[in-house]
Amino acid sequence: MMRPLSSYVWILCLLMMSLRGDTSVASTFRDCSHFFYMQTPPVGMTGSSLRRICQRYANEARYATLYDGARRLPLYSAYIFKKSDGKRRMDTPWMYEPQLVSKDASGSMRAIPLTDDTPPLIQDGQAVLEDYTDAVGYRRAPLNPDLHQSDPGDKSSTYTLTNVVPLKEDFLAASWSPYQDLIRRRLNNFCHGPAFVVTGVTDSGMSIQRDNLDRLAIPRHVWLAYCCPRFDHNSPYEVRFMFPSYGGYAPNEGTEHSVAELPLKMLESFLKSQKDADGDVTIFSQGCVSESSFKKKRESYNQKARYVTLYNTVERIPVYSAYVFKRSEGERCIDIPWMYEPQLSTYSDTADMQPFPQDYIHMNFDDMQATLDDYNNAIMYERGALNPEVHQHDHDDKSATYTLTNVVPVVSGFVSTVWRKQEDALRKRLNNYCLGKAYIVTGVTTSGKYINWRNMKRVAVPSYLWSAYCCMDYDHSIPYNERYMFPAFAHYALNSKSSEVVEVSIQQLKEFLKKKMFVDSNFQIFAGDCVSDKYS
């Protein structure tokens, strides 16, 4: 069939554009990194022909897309949510991405030319309208939807086929579009700062064909995650646990599947299990837990600081407790009530931890810390102290360990069959061979699971518990089977009553934690790894 003259004009224009400099499709998102939380794109997504697109409209960057040119499929679009009334644009033509056609100087998306057949240079590396014409049962579904934007230009920019995936028509209407509107209303009402959103897909391995050729990869799942570090801490119970981050996903299969909402880490674990993943998947840097969510606390009892804790007020568990070991016989207290942390509550003007009052349920203690009810209703879990009383000698120091800001939920039986034995073995080791001060840091990695109460996800459940000690002044004549464990050593165990404790060097523990936690390249447990110049 002979092409219309207008097609050849477009081809000539595209060839001329290919001689210009590339500005927005590159190997990095450098020019649009501000659309990602902490300017860090997601990691763990794979493809055979990935292009990183700074989606530009009217010469302005609007959002970012990771695009697989071979499958003609955006793996995700990342954008900043803008509060809106949910209205959609009705007058915006569908556009294509000139950056995938040529080294276009402007880089702005353009309307698809009104011809009988889209020029080959356009459709070689991206989807075109003809791909959807005969795709019975599928509709164009933007990953960055216009109802998540308020500015007319931002709304218009969502109408590019590099932001679109083919979703089942009934699934889109009955499940995904209502979920997008639910997220719009939630972020409108309870997010007080920028909300970073990433929406993506997994690949089914199937394709929409045109002219007997595979053209568009069909998603197996579609997913969304948001990150809002500044949110309303007075939001209703049923909403509060979904901040600062949460996610959802659903199979691209008809009306019988609703969107499953789940914590960010569980969504990342799900995506890791898909064939598109390359190792661990991270959507938001540091799990969207801002530094303001971590509280560095001096655990004070009877007007004296006893130890320190880094506490995660979002997940309501300590990240670690750090303390000085005191020689002891391993005695335990039996008369100490569980306490809360006034520093995380507005109902006390003291820095000393305090026993829970009898009627605290309406005092908002639970906004930023765990409460007794969280554990009383957790049949599968029990309280596990990071700073255990058997590592303290003074009665007040022992008493100070009975605060829920020093406690994490461990699987029932884990303490008695696994962890307590190691705590006691370490107590005896330091009693016998540490001549000076012994510093101990005990912490956790999280699993993405939570203790639920009143249908809310309340307290994060650890995946692993770990501990490390540093004793610079130790007995150098100790037996060989103990000597290599000084001046510093460490151990960790899976949070399971059938697990075994693994003893490792400080360096080995650091490498292990780097794979399990969000830590920076300068991560240290002890200054200088507890290596003295005298013995190095």
Sequence-separated (6 or more) residues with CB below 8 Å from residue 263:
245, 246, 247, 448, 450, 457
Predicted confidence band of residue 348 (pLDDT cuts 50, 70, 90): low
The first and second tokens of residue 450, run together, are: 């939570």
Q: Is the pLDDT of residue 27 over 80?
A: no
pLDDT at residue 535 is higher than 50: no
Grouping H, G, I as helix, E, B as strand and the rest as coil, residue 40 is coil
Range of weakest confidence among 134-138, 173-177, 239-243, 343-347? 343-347
According to the model, what pLDDT value does residue 3 have?
Answer: 39
Which pLDDT does position 18 carry in this prediction? 37
Reported as a single tens digit per residue, the pLDDT across 366-398 is 778 999 989 988 889 999 999 999 999 999 999
- DSSP string covering 56-74: EETTEEEEEEEEETTTTEE
- Is 165:73 a contact under the CB 8 Å cutoff? yes
Domains of the chain from N-terminus onward:
5-284 (3.40.570.10), 294-530 (3.40.570.10)
The tokens for 183 are: 């997220």
- Residue 278 confidence (pLDDT): 82
> What's phi and psi for 328, nearest 5 deg?
-150, 170
Which range scores top for mean pLDDT: 8-22, 123-137, 480-494?
480-494
Whether residue 530 contacts residue 487, with contact meaning beta carbons closer than 8 Å, is answered with yes
Structure tokens at 48: 């055979």
Predicted confidence (pLDDT) at residue 120 exceeds the cutoff of 90 = no
> What mean pLDDT do residues 297-303 have?
91
CA dist., res. 367 & res. 241, Å (int): 10
Q: Which helix (H) or strand (E) holds 488?
A: strand 488-494
Confidence category of residue 536, pLDDT binned at 50, 70, 90: very low
**265 or 127: whose pLDDT is higher?**
265
DSSP structure class, residue 106? S
pLDDT at residue 96 greater than cutoff 90: no
The model's pLDDT over 52-67, given as tens digits with 9 standing for 90+, comes to 999 999 989 999 999 9
Distance of alpha carbon 431 from alpha carbon 469, whole angstroms: 13
In this prediction, residue 20 carries a pLDDT of: 34
Cβ(303)–Cβ(289) under 8 Å?
A: no
User: What is the model's pLDDT at position 15?
Assistant: 38
Per DSSP, 311 falls in state E
Distance CA 14, CA 3 (A): 16
Tell me the residue type at 427. R
The contacts of residue 126 (CB under 8 Å, 6+ apart) are 67, 69, 72, 96, 97, 100, 101, 161, 162
Determine the 3-state secondary structure of 206 from DSSP.
strand
Tokens standing for residue 88:
């959609």
pLDDT digits (tens, 9 = 90+) for 272-291: 998 878 888 999 988 887 66
At 13 the pLDDT is 43
Predicted confidence (pLDDT) per residue in 142-192, tens digit: 999 999 999 999 999 999 999 999 999 999 999 999 999 999 999 999 998
Hunting for tokens 């809310």 — which residue is that?
Answer: 456
Q: Which residues fall within 8 angstroms of residue 256, CB to CB, at 6 or more apart?
A: none
What residues contact residue 91 under an 8 Å CB cut-off, 6+ apart? none
pTM (whole model) above 0.85? no
Q: Is the pLDDT of residue 295 over 70?
A: yes
User: Percent of the chain at pLDDT above 70?
Assistant: 89
pLDDT at residue 19 tops 60: no
Of 144 and 255, the one with more pLDDT: 144
Query: Does residue 1 surpass a pLDDT of 50?
Result: no
Which residues on neighbouring strands pair with residue 462, listed in sequence order? 446
Average pLDDT, the chain: 87
What's 418's DSSP letter? I
| Phi, psi values for residue 155, rounded to 5° | -65, -45
Instruction: Give yes or no for residue 251 having a pLDDT over 90.
Output: yes
Angle at 82 between CA 78 and CA 84, to 5 degrees: 130
Separation between Cα atoms, residue 11 and residue 28, nearest integer Å: 28
- Contact of 510 with 520, CB cutoff 8 Å: no
- 313 versus 423: the higher-pLDDT residue is 423
Q: Tell me the residue length of the chain.
A: 536
pLDDT tens column, 192-201: 889 999 999 9
In 369-471, DSSP assigns E strands to 381-385, 407-411, 439-453, 456-470
- Per-residue model confidence as pLDDT tens digits over 500-522: 999 999 999 999 998 888 777 68
Consecutive H or E run containing 179: helix 177-190
8 A C-beta contact, residue 526 and residue 488: yes
What is the rounded CA–CA span in Å between residue 78 and residue 65?
6
Percent of the chain with pLDDT over 90: 57
Do 490 and 504 meet the contact criterion of CB atoms below 8 Å apart?
yes
Q: What's the token pair of residue 422?
A: 């190691």
Query: What does the alpha-carbon distance between residue 264 and residue 224 come to, in Å, rounded to a whole number?
Result: 10
Unique residue bearing structure tokens 């997994």: 202
Query: What pLDDT sits at residue 456?
Result: 75
